[in-house]
Amino acid sequence: MTTTDTRPRPAEPNASFRDRLNNLRHLGRLVAQIWRTSRWLTAASIGLRLVRALQPVATLFVAKLIIDEVVRLSGQTGGSHDFAQWWAEGKLNTVAILLALEFGLVIVSDLLARATSLVDAVLGELHSNTVSVELMAHAARLDLRHFESAEYQDRLERARRQASGRNALLSQMFGQAQDMITVVTLAAGLFVFAPWLVLLLPLSFVPAIWGETRFNTLSYYLSRGRTPERRQLEYIRQIGASAETAKEIKLFGLSAFLVERFRTLATTIFKENRKLSIQRAKWGALFSAIATLAYYGAYAFIVWRTIAGEFSIGDLTFLAGSFLSLNGLFQKILLGFTQIAGQSLYLDDLFSFFEIQPAILPPANPKPFPQPIRDGIVFDNVGFRYPETDNWAIRGLSFTLKAGETLALVGENGAGKTTIVKLLTRLYDPDEGRITVDGTDLRDIEIEDIHAHIGVIFQDFIRYSLTAAENIGVGRIEDRGDRMRIEDAAKSSLADAVIERLPLRYEQPLGRLFNKGRDLSGGEWQKVAIARAYMRDADLIILDEPTAALDAKAEAEVFARFKSLATGKTAVIISHRFSTVRMADRIIVLDGGKIIEAGSHAELLALHGHYAELFELQAAGYR
């Protein structure tokens, strides 16, 4: 099976500097997503930052004017230095106005900074919600094969990790734009006084940018390459401490084994990360020293020019301040740039997940699912291989499931029974042959339409940590509030007796996950789950071994009930219990993905074949 993903992968660790910069392409997509989240907040965040960007140069310039004015005033000879007199003579007017201006600038700047963080925090949370919703919606569109493949699970896991925590990147990106505008205004001021100083600045940060992008790429690939191990760590952490696993872990005394496995895996990852961090710190220190050297070189130059009388003291403060700010800003931009570039690599994990497309596609001109089914469902020479496997799970399979009949599928583990159900419900499409319902290929019917007309409960059904009523209501989610329907379904599956015994009856939260939750026995859960199938007006009901945990008597009861309710309905039952299987109208015996025998219980016994042998084996156990 081929994947539909042909888009370019992000730069590999040895990719060129340009390739690495190319990874910034995802930022546009991120901004668009943020814009979609809230236009007003995005505009507010950008607007606030534009104003803040101009504040440093304004503050520095006013400070320069203050110092020049102070120098001018302190140089005035004659007269007393009496404050009241100077004030009355209006000599302090200019400096007072300038001080007030500086004060105003600082206050406004503080207010704007707080407003920006507020807007960013709100926008960040909204955005994280938007991404999570888009991620869930997209995952729901994907095929079952995606969820059953380790590679796709790695990708989903990577995307999921990116869904939250993009808030910092958002503020950083906008902050970066703000800093860049500040740099331009400061550099323009600097350029007016000493043009070549501006040229000195890039020399200090270009090597650092190169180094940092290199380390970002290396660290991304380290982390990316370790996704399977990280998922394993997560898995070990989970089975090591969860309600579902506690029993077995304790009884088998597995905790030391799990801790050891966790430690080994975690240590390998830790050592790799540490090596990279040390490298990064060494180079970072060198580049930072170069930048500091550039700053002090420029500072010495300005000091000398001031001594030589070319610059005023105010100019000196302005230039030294500008240069210091610029240097600081460059460092910040550099750091921000490397962080953004690093993060944009991870954005690839998020956006590439959105590019995975389902292979099971809706038909161009959908035909309706026949209701009721008149003739039946036909498997016509069907063959199917699971993705990334070489063996055919089923091959050359042909049979008819007649309308209104109850068919049992029998066979040893791995014979292909569940696979038939997956194909019948179009969770997968066959690789060979076709499946038709009343002559219409399943591929020509809308997937939702197929699912709406089939009630299926798998052996590994979900035990939802929801109330008893909701656990049944999920079988037909649009009717989850229809208590009559839920209670009827519970009666049909014999779950009503289980629910009657619960303190809160239908309102009883089930499962151990949440407060007041009540756990059920395996068989009780199964009765509740089977009620889901009865929630539907399905013509076709499939029970794939959901009764394995029921005791023999309960299973016989559930099936007898099922048979009586299923009259007129087409039903498929998978079970390893012959007491159940024998109730079916027809039985198909599978082996290695092929049909080896078919007929009624009596016919198959008379055949003295595989079925008769298996039946005898089980019956002997009861004698």
Ligand X SMILES: Nc1ncnc2c1ncn2[C@@H]1O[C@H](COP(=O)(O)OP(=O)(O)OP(=O)(O)O)[C@@H](O)[C@H]1O
Residues forming contacts to ligand X in the complex (CB under 6 A) are 148, 386, 389, 393, 411, 413-419
How many Cα atoms within 13 Å fall on the side-chain side of residue 126?
Answer: 16
CB-wise, 49 or 145, nearer to ligand X?
Answer: 145
> CB-wise, 390 or 478, nearer to ligand X?
390
Query: Could you identify the residue written with the tokens 């007796």?
Result: 497
Residue 59 tokens, joined = 């503050």
Radius of gyration of the chain (CA): 36
Nearest to 165 by CA among 111, 124, 214, 216: 124
Taking the complex as a whole, the smallest distance from the CB of residue 148 to ligand X amounts, in Å, to 4
Q: How far is the CB of 494 from ligand X (least distance, A)?
A: 23
Using the minimum distance from each CB to ligand X, give the nearer residue, 152 or 295: 152
> Rounded to the nearest whole angstrom, what is the least distance from the CB of residue 404 to ligand X in the complex?
24
Contact 295, 323 (CB under 8 A): yes
What count of other Cβ atoms lies within 10 Å of the Cβ of residue 536? Answer: 19
By C-alpha distance, which of 196, 185, 181 is closest to 294? 196
Least Å from the CB of residue 488 to ligand X? 30
For 433, the enclosing helix (H) or strand (E) is: strand 432-437
Distances in whole angstroms, Cα of residue 483 to Cα of each of 528, 539, 562: 14, 22, 21
Closer residue to ligand X in complex, CB, 13/358: 358
CB 253, min distance to ligand X, A = 28
Query: What's the min distance (Å) between Cβ of 356 and ligand X?
Result: 18
Q: Write the single-letter amino acid at 276.
A: L
Rounded to whole angstroms, how far apart are CA atoms 616 and 597? Answer: 16
Separation of alpha carbons 436 and 441, rounded Å = 4
Which is closer to ligand X, CB of 407 or CB of 466? 407
Task: Indicate the residue among 393 and 520 with the shorter CB distance to ligand X.
Answer: 393
CA atoms within 13 A of residue 500's CA, in its CB half-sphere: 7
Dihedral of CA atoms 574, 580, 581, 583 in degrees, nearest 10, equals -130
Nearer to ligand X, 42 or 575 (CB): 575
CB atoms inside a 10 Å sphere around CB 390: 6
Shortest gap between Cβ of 408 and ligand X (angstroms)? 13
**Residue 352 identity (one-letter amino acid):** S
Nearer to ligand X, 45 or 149 (CB): 149
Nearer to ligand X by Cβ, of 343 and 419: the residue is 419
Cβ-based neighbours of 103, under 8 Å, separated by 6 or more: none
Report the nearest approach of ligand X to the CB of residue 144 (Å).
Answer: 8
- Separation of alpha carbons 536 and 538, rounded Å: 5
Contact 197, 190 (CB under 8 A): yes
Residue 414 Cβ vs ligand X, minimum distance, rounded to whole Å = 4
Closer by beta carbon to ligand X, 493 or else 575: 575
What is the closest distance, in whole angstroms, from the C-beta atom of residue 546 to ligand X in the complex?
12
Q: Give the separation between CA 186 and CA 174, rounded to whole angstroms.
A: 19
